[in-house]
Amino acid sequence: MRYSGLRVITEGLFGNKGWKPAWRDPAPKAEYDAIIIGGGGHGLSTAYYLAKNHGMTNIAVLEKGYLGSGNIGRNTTIVRANYFLPGNSEFYSHSMKLWEGLELDLNYNVMHSQRGLINLFHSDGQRDAFVRRGNSMINQGDDAILLDREGVREMLPYLDFEQTRFPIYGGLYHPRGGTARHDAVAWGYARGADRRGVDLIQNCEVTGIDIEGGRVTGVQTTRGAIKAKKVGMVVAGRSSQVAAMAGMRLPIESHILQAFVTEGLKPVIDHVVSFGMGHFYISQSDKGGLVFGGDLDFYASYASRGNLPMVEHVMEAGMTLMPMIGRAKVLRSWGGIMDMSPDGSPIIDKTHIDGLFVDCGWNYGGFKAVPASGFCMAHLMATGESHPVAARFTLNRFATGHILDEEGTGSQHNLH
Amino acid sequence: MRLTCPLCGARDRREFTYYGAEDYLNRPAPDAPPQAWDDYLHNRDNPAGVTRDLWYHDMGCSSWLLVTRNTVTHEILAVEAVADRKGGAA
Ligand SMILES: Cc1cc2nc3c(=O)[nH]c(=O)nc-3n(C[C@H](O)[C@H](O)[C@H](O)COP(=O)(O)OP(=O)(O)OC[C@H]3O[C@@H](n4cnc5c(N)ncnc54)[C@H](O)[C@@H]3O)c2cc1C
Ligand SMILES: [Zn+2]
CATH number of domain containing A377: 3.50.50.60
Structural domains of chain A, count: 2
DSSP structure class, residue A390: G
Residue of B20, B21, B72 lying closest to A303 (CB–CB): B72
pLDDT tens digits, residue range A104-125? 999 999 999 999 999 999 999 9
**Mean pLDDT calculated for residue range A44-66:** 98
Please indicate whether, in this complex, the C-beta atoms of B43 and A250 are within 8 angstroms of each other.
yes
- CB < 8 Å to B17, chain A: 298
What ligand is nearest to the CA atom of residue B79?
A: 2
Q: Of the residues A340, A373, A406, which one is the last residue of a structural domain?
A: A340
Quick one: CA torsion of A219, A222, A225, A229, rounded to 10 degrees? -20
Would you call A304 an interface residue with chain B, using a CB distance cutoff of 8 Å?
A: no
Residue B86 has pLDDT above 70, yes or no: no
Q: What is the pLDDT of residue A279?
A: 86
A37 lines ligand 1 (CB under 6 A): yes
- φ, ψ of residue A197 in degrees (nearest 5): 100, 0
Nearest alpha carbon to residue A50 among A59, A63, A41, A42: A59
Q: What is the pLDDT of residue A193?
A: 98
Residue of A249, A253, A301 lying closest to B20 (CB–CB): A253
**Rounded CA separation B10/A406 (Å):** 37
User: 3-class SS at A314?
Assistant: helix
Whether residues A288 and A323 share a domain: the answer is yes
Contacts for A118 with CB less than 8 Å, ≥ 6 apart: A147, A152, A155, A156, A171, A172, A173, A174, A271, A272, A273, A274
What ligand is nearest to the CA atom of residue A333?
A: 1
Would residue A90 count as lying in a domain? no
Contacts for A220 with CB less than 8 Å, ≥ 6 apart: A206, A207, A208, A209, A210
- CB < 8 Å to B18, chain A: 298-300, 414
pLDDT tens digits, residue range A320-356? 999 999 999 999 999 999 999 999 999 999 999 999 9
Q: What is the pLDDT of residue A248?
A: 98
Would residue A109 count as lying in a domain? no
Residue of A241, A302, A342 lying closest to B42 (CB–CB): A342
Distance from CA of B58 to the nearest CA of A (A): 15
Distance from CA of A298 to the nearest CA of B (A): 7
Residues in a beta bridge with A357: A232, A350
Domains of chain B in start order, with CATH, are 2-84 (3.30.2270.10)
Q: Which residues of B touch A (CB under 8 A)?
A: 1, 12-14, 17-21, 34-35, 38-39, 41-48, 51, 53, 55, 71-74
Contacts for A285 with CB less than 8 Å, ≥ 6 apart: A77, A179, A261, A291
Would you call A410 an interface residue with chain B, using a CB distance cutoff of 8 Å?
A: no
Q: CA of A358: how far to CAs of A195, A231, A248, in Å?
A: 25, 9, 11
Pairing of strands A117-121, A272-275: parallel
* Domain coverage including residue A402: 5-78+182-250+346-415
Lowest average pLDDT, out of A142-151, A237-246, A304-313, goes to A304-313
Whether residues A261 and A320 share a domain: the answer is yes
Q: What mean pLDDT, rounded, does chain A reach?
A: 96
Distance from CA of B5 to the nearest CA of A (A): 17
**Rounded CA separation A181/A110 (Å):** 5
Beginning with the edge strand found earlier in the chain, give each strand of the sheet holding B50-56 in spatial order.
B17-21, B50-56, B64-70, B76-81
User: 3-class SS at A8?
Assistant: helix
Would you call A240 an interface residue with chain B, using a CB distance cutoff of 8 Å?
A: yes
Q: Looking at the CA of residue A363, tell me the nearest atom of ligand 1.
A: 19
HSE at residue A111, side-chain half, CA atoms within 13 A, is 14
**This model's pTM is above 0.90:** yes
Q: Of the residues A340, A372, A398, which one is the last residue of a structural domain?
A: A340
User: Scanning every residue of chain A, which has its alpha carbon at the shortest distance from the alpha carbon of B24?
Assistant: A412
Would residue A152 count as lying in a domain? yes
Whether residues A222 and A166 share a domain: the answer is no
Whether residues A327 and A294 share a domain: the answer is yes
What ligand is nearest to the CA atom of residue A71?
A: 1
Contacts for B47 with CB less than 8 Å, ≥ 6 apart: A240, B71
**Rounded CA separation A311/A259 (Å):** 9
CATH number at residue A302: 3.30.9.10
Would residue A108 count as lying in a domain? no
Burial state string for A266-286 with b = 16 or more CB within 10 A and e = fewer than 16: eeebebbbbbbbbbbbbbbbe
Residue of A302, A303, A307 lying closest to B13 (CB–CB): A307
Q: CA of A289: how far to CAs of A186, A260, A269, in Å?
A: 21, 9, 10
Look at A411 and A293; give whichever has higher pLDDT. Answer: A293
Nearest alpha carbon to residue A35 among A17, A58, A16, A5: A58
Residue A156 has pLDDT above 70, yes or no: yes
Q: Of the residues A317, A340, A363, which one is the last residue of a structural domain?
A: A340
Distance from CA of A94 to the nearest CA of B (A): 28
**Rounded CA separation A285/A270 (Å):** 10
Whether residues A310 and A400 share a domain: the answer is no
Whether residues A272 and A401 share a domain: the answer is no
Residue A150 has pLDDT above 90, yes or no: yes
Q: What is the pLDDT of residue B90?
A: 47
Q: How confident is the model at residue A370 (pLDDT cuts 50, 70, 90)?
A: very high
Neighbours of A356 (CB within 10 A): 20
